[in-house]
Structure 1
């Protein structure tokens, strides 16, 4: 199959008619579509699925609305509803040994309060009435809806499948659908029902009353289970909506500064603490300034002065000693002035130094009158210790100032309670609703679990009663023969199912291994792949033969394993189908992006349609992929026409257009 063309008519963000050609060559199988978020990229992907599958399409935004509501919502908002909207999807495939161009046109418009939908299918330009009326059946021949997820997927799906449990669920559904195992199991259930019905029909009223009573109760319990499952699904939808609204309310609450308002008391307490601490440090600095700290002049000058003082003492030259002391004292007074010490303190210091010189350096005083203790105060060890203490204290003051400034900034940013009270009330209301819904869902889960346990018990009782009844009815030769043949048939089918699953699981293991080794950088990391036949969980085998569960791999390696699984399942389907990948690199780290660009995209299928943002297939990745790209498109919004549109361009390195 080759996708040839998509036509959008008043669909979503696309006003008017937009025709997008998708044809490629074998050498250049990639169609690269670039678009910023919100410009219509996902809408384009939805259009293809909607054209193919209609009500069964897995389009975005379909979770909580009916099909009719969805169709109405996809009519361009600037288009009158009575003009309607439509999507056309043309693809080329082989039918009856010949190449056939099939065009599916799905249109709808609003009439009154209802939506009128019309589907027209043509083959090679001619209207095919039968295909138009029975398209739901016909499309399964081209692209079965159950395996569509193997060919239509996005980066979020790859990330989700990196979870071993989710990938196991995909494997279970994919394998059962591709191999027809679900049909075999349906046939097994049908044979069992035929056997049971034959037993009941043949037995007398008294013989079958017990079985009928069990079956009646079992059917009632089954209905309760299904009803509760529907209730839970509805409640889960409500819960999802409430959680989204709560997240929006929380974001608005934060935007208004609500978090800071909640921290008001703590911030005031922090402000008081840091103000007190700042006062204490400033008092400590004042004490240092009032002591010997002002005398701590630059170390080199002090060392020279002390050295000369000792020399004068030793030589008995009082005049030299007095002169050096006067020079030193002048330096000290000058230095103290630079510290911003008060004038009274400066005067006291000058007076003290003058009196000290007069007393110590009298002409009649012996040189030995200079106290040794005074000189020791200016030793290198003492000055270094004092300097460290001063630096530490000043650093503490700087740190406290920074913390205090940050606290005061947050206090200044706190809005008035009136500004955020409404947002806070709204957030708390949603939180209360969410809590109630979670409690109701938890109760429903418990009830469903209890009912399923009861259902299993009734099923066992029904089987035992049917077996007992069958033994009593052996006198009915026809019924006995039919029941025996059906029972043997079920055993054969069950054995066929198990062997079919085992053989194909091994083939799938080898296929996943082949594709995983193409993608992973550490070629020696994996030597084998195993799939558990019961849980369908994947494990990796290393060179030493040790089994490594998938959850032990890195996040990037798990995502590559998920891609390899999708790739292998698509190959196992035997379908020659294109791959359509939305935001292909959005969930991958840079280390693994290059691997996908070089080893997966060019060979994922004979036609690969990539829908990329401006942060994915650009730069180096674009250059690596360029030899395989057959078509480029850029989706951009035309403000003048108020519509998104496709142009033959792509992102440039500066995010401007690059004509190709």
Structure 2
């Protein structure tokens, strides 16, 4: 990625809007000239500040907020402006790379400074970031800050790389070198793999097969407890059902017999008393009959005989009397026939014949009334006979009717007695109050027992639920343990694979580092010998692949430290190292170098201008004073210059225009 433009708005001496077009075509050098103090270094620091913010490490003792407060243009701040921003735009080297615009803006407040970072890709602002730190990390992934010091640097300060001090052996330069050589990417991968392994080990559960067996034993014990509780629960429920049936029977008995039987018993007892009273009345009737009519009953045959005898005697007497009257009438008729009143008088013969004939006729008409002889026993007068017959008729009639009533009375007496006995038997069958109380007491006992059973059922059910939940938990635990063992085994497999990859990476890194170190050694030696005027000074540079400490051998194969180099040689060494690292990394990044020739003599300047800048990168931006790249020095690189700018100092304001010191605008 190459720089397309840089924009400053109220940043330091760059008041208002200032833009530098950095696009190139064909040639690779952009020359920006500036007197000392006019804002040349601000371009370099502005690029670093826009890219990395507080991570650019531009402060020198003051806080970042104090540094930012000093960055706003003084004149603009005096007029009330409290904002400034810097924009750095990169253009892609090919169609797959998009243009990237990085804008960092600051707002100065009384107690603090507000910083806002935005990143735009081909005109579209990227929104996937959570905060500015996330955005800065995005930039770091493109151009790590450790890499930037090899592409954006101050030529007068870069010689620190050649100093034999603590910094040289520190992790900072070593890490930066690893960054630019892409070694840190692999180191980061190794660290990530190691962190992955640590995290995986932390996520591994310390599970053993004995833990599963322990849980399985608990499951079995819990199952036995559940079986016991279920049996107890079934027994309790069965007992409850049986008691419920018995209670329903008792309730039915109380409903049908028990509770109503008390009233029914009273009714039956009342009926028995009534029947007994009726039976007593019937008994009285019987006793009255015995006292009064029984003699007649006993004498009934005799009375009947007397009646019959009296009837016979009466009939006999009547017949006898009637016969006598008939004879008397017959004789009266005969006398009338024998009298003289019949004219002509009858002859004696006629009278005899007539008497015979009449006697025959009379005999036919008046049959004999008395057919048998009756012994006259009582021989009562008609009036006595009438009285006695009346008495006998009454007695006979009474006895006849009374006998029927007596039979009915006896039948009623028997029936009443039978009803009394039946009622008594029914009464015996009816429950007594004691029986009812006993049943009710039994019912209460059953209810208490059922309540106790229900409590026990509830307790059993709760215990059963608890044990089932416990078993379920244990089963889940067993499943989880099995899964955890499975996961642990899978994790261990991943850890093992990660360890293999990490070990392979470490071997690869070691070989890559040695290879890269060797490449840098050759490139560094080549460029240093091109740039230095003492071609006998260094035979070759040697780089420790572990620490990246750099030493050199002279022509006598003596290993010497870098401090044996002069100040100019140290700058040449540092520039050569930067070039070697850039070439070895094959990163297509621009180089921005401030004051590259300030401390160099004529030979070193010539070598740097002819052998370094034209080949350092596809885009080289040189920030130079009028005493560095001017006149004959400029002529050495004029064929590689794509654009030239001149920074002019107008007091508290700096302006940028095309052109160069005392030259026409290009």
| Normalised TM-score (structure 1) | 0.51
- The equivalent position to 1:645 in structure 2, one of 639, 650, 655, is 655
Aligned partners of 2:16 and 2:556: how far apart in 1? 61
Q: Does 1:49 align with 2:48?
A: yes
- The equivalent position to 1:590 in structure 2, one of 576, 594, 602, is 602
Question: In structure 2, do the counterparts of structure 1 residues 518 and 107 end up closer, same or farther at CA, with 3 Å as the change threshold?
Answer: same
Q: Does 1:37 align with 2:69?
A: no
Question: In structure 2, do the counterparts of structure 1 residues 554 and 483 end up closer, same or farther at CA, with 3 Å as the change threshold?
Answer: same
Partners of 2:190 and 2:502 within 8 A in 1: no
Unaligned runs of 5+ in 2: 209-487
- The equivalent position to 1:504 in structure 2, one of 504, 513, 516, is 516
Q: Does 1:78 align with 2:75?
A: yes
Structure 1 residue 552, shift from structure 2 partner = 3.3
Aligned partners of 1:162 and 1:518: how far apart in 2? 17
Partners of 2:568 and 2:599 within 8 A in 1: no
Structure 1 residue 33, shift from structure 2 partner = 1.4
Partners of 1:202 and 1:479 within 8 A in 2: no
Tell me what 1:186 maps to.
Answer: 191
**SS at the partner of 1:113?**
coil
Aligned partners of 1:200 and 1:176: how far apart in 2? 37
Alignment of structure 1 residues 593-632 onto 2, 5 Å: 593-632=605-644
Partners of 2:516 and 2:584 within 8 A in 1: no
Partners of 1:159 and 1:587 within 8 A in 2: no
List per-residue Cα deviations over 1:233-266 (Å, max 9, x = no partner): xxxxxxxxxxxxxxxxxxxxxxxxxxxxxxxxxx
Question: In structure 2, do the counterparts of structure 1 residues 490 and 194 end up closer, same or farther at CA, with 3 Å as the change threshold?
Answer: farther
- The equivalent position to 1:578 in structure 2, one of 571, 584, 590, is 590
Aligned partners of 1:505 and 1:105: how far apart in 2? 36
Structure 1 residue 141, shift from structure 2 partner = 4.2
Unaligned runs of 5+ in 1: 204-475
Greater relative CO (CA pairs within 8 A, separation 6+) = 2
Alignment of structure 1 residues 53-64 onto 2, 5 Å: 53-59=52-58, 62-64=59-61
Question: In structure 2, do the counterparts of structure 1 residues 57 and 552 end up closer, same or farther at CA, with 3 Å as the change threshold?
Answer: closer
Partners of 1:119 and 1:132 within 8 A in 2: no
Tell me what 1:113 maps to.
Answer: 111
Tell me what 1:123 maps to.
Answer: 121
Partners of 1:82 and 1:111 within 8 A in 2: no
Partners of 1:8 and 1:19 within 8 A in 2: yes
Partners of 2:159 and 2:573 within 8 A in 1: no
- The equivalent position to 2:66 in structure 1, one of 69, 72, 78, is 69
Alignment of structure 1 residues 134-533 onto 2, 5 Å: 134-165=134-165, 166-167=167-168, 169=170, 172-177=174-179, 178-179=182-183, 180-184=185-189, 186-187=191-192, 190=195, 193=198, 491-533=503-545
**SS at the partner of 2:3?**
strand
Partners of 1:164 and 1:538 within 8 A in 2: no
List per-residue Cα deviations over 1:597-638 (Å, max 9, x = no partner): 221112111111111122211232122222222222221222
Q: Does 1:89 align with 2:88?
A: yes
Partners of 2:6 and 2:19 within 8 A in 1: yes
Question: In structure 2, do the counterparts of structure 1 residues 89 and 187 end up closer, same or farther at CA, with 3 Å as the change threshold?
Answer: closer
Aligned partners of 2:514 and 2:99: how far apart in 1? 38
**SS at the partner of 2:614?**
helix
Aligned partners of 1:34 and 1:563: how far apart in 2? 20
Partners of 1:585 and 1:593 within 8 A in 2: yes
Aligned partners of 1:579 and 1:145: how far apart in 2? 14
Structure 1 residue 596, shift from structure 2 partner = 0.9
Partners of 1:526 and 1:540 within 8 A in 2: yes
Question: In structure 2, do the counterparts of structure 1 residues 76 and 584 end up closer, same or farther at CA, with 3 Å as the change threshold?
Answer: same
Measured on the aligned residues, the alpha-carbon RMSD in Å equals 3.4
List per-residue Cα deviations over 1:278-304 (Å, max 9, x = no partner): xxxxxxxxxxxxxxxxxxxxxxxxxxx
Count of matched residue positions in the alignment of Structure 1 and Structure 2: 378
Partners of 1:539 and 1:549 within 8 A in 2: yes
Aligned partners of 1:488 and 1:52: how far apart in 2? 37
Tell me what 1:292 maps to.
Answer: none
Partners of 1:158 and 1:563 within 8 A in 2: yes
Structure 1 residue 84, shift from structure 2 partner = 0.9
Structure 1 residue 538, shift from structure 2 partner = 1.8
Aligned partners of 1:510 and 1:137: how far apart in 2? 33
597-606 or 527-536, larger mean C-alpha shift = 527-536
List per-residue Cα deviations over 1:470-519 (Å, max 9, x = no partner): xxxxxx99999898777766654543432332232222222222322332
Aligned partners of 2:76 and 2:33: how far apart in 1? 26
Structure 1 residue 201, shift from structure 2 partner = 6.5
**SS at the partner of 1:25?**
coil
Question: In structure 2, do the counterparts of structure 1 residues 521 and 16 end up closer, same or farther at CA, with 3 Å as the change threshold?
Answer: same
Tell me what 2:316 maps to.
Answer: none
Aligned partners of 2:96 and 2:506: how far apart in 1? 38
Aligned partners of 1:495 and 1:546: how far apart in 2? 31
Question: In structure 2, do the counterparts of structure 1 residues 67 and 158 end up closer, same or farther at CA, with 3 Å as the change threshold?
Answer: closer
Structure 1 residue 147, shift from structure 2 partner = 0.5
Aligned partners of 1:482 and 1:627: how far apart in 2? 58
**SS at the partner of 2:16?**
strand
Structure 1 residue 542, shift from structure 2 partner = 4.3
Structure 1 residue 546, shift from structure 2 partner = 4.5
4-13 or 581-590, larger mean C-alpha shift = 581-590
Tell me what 1:294 maps to.
Answer: none
List per-residue Cα deviations over 1:154-195 (Å, max 9, x = no partner): 123322222144455565223432212531552475378559
Partners of 1:32 and 1:631 within 8 A in 2: yes
Aligned partners of 2:650 and 2:72: how far apart in 1? 18
Partners of 1:51 and 1:105 within 8 A in 2: yes
Aligned partners of 2:160 and 2:141: how far apart in 1? 28
